[in-house]
Amino acid sequence: MQENWLELSAAFDEKQDFVLAVITETHGATYRKAGTMMLVSRDKKCTGLLSGGCLEADIALHAESVFENKVPAMLHYDLTADADLLWGLGLGCEGKIDILLQPLLAESGHCDFANMLSSVCEGKTGRYWLPIPSSAADTGTPSIVVTGAFHHEIASLIP
């Protein structure tokens, strides 16, 4: 469940480009669950947390290529390995996390993110569609955010 809608709304500027990082799936122990969002600005400032702080800098680095290519990307972090010296520091990040990086570009209306933010901050319910790139073979279905909770609605989305 997204807990920082007001923080995301305050950071969002319709004149700027962002990358929206969304947890699409988790397995095992993770700080945040599917549906949690974080905004990354061009200067790599992250608003929101997708982990306990152990992944955000790496996500911001990957966001650079999303800004450059203007194409969504999927990240997969497997933090379960015992010999994982970089991530496995006992910081609570001990599961698997899949993250969608969606470009929110001013030139294309930010994928209507501003309207979704406004609606949620006003307490309205609704749907926000996020297509997961087909390169993510294990999760390659369109998905949806409903009032801050991420849900897979596979059957109803397949044409």
The model's pLDDT over 94-103, given as tens digits with 9 standing for 90+, comes to 788 999 999 9
Please tell me which residue, 40 or 117, carries the higher pLDDT value: 40
Q: How far from each other are the two terminal CA atoms of the chain, in whole angstroms?
A: 28
Question: What is the pTM (predicted TM-score) of this model?
Answer: 0.76
> Which H helix or E strand runs over 96?
strand 96-104
In the chain, what's the furthest Cα-to-Cα distance? Answer: 46
Domain residue extents for the chain? 5-157
The pLDDT assigned to 58 comes to 94
Cβ(97)–Cβ(112) below 8 Å: no
The model's pLDDT over 12-36, given as tens digits with 9 standing for 90+, comes to 888 999 999 999 889 988 888 888 8
Q: What percent of the chain has pLDDT over 90?
A: 28
Count the neighbouring beta carbons within 10 Å of the beta carbon of residue 24: 22
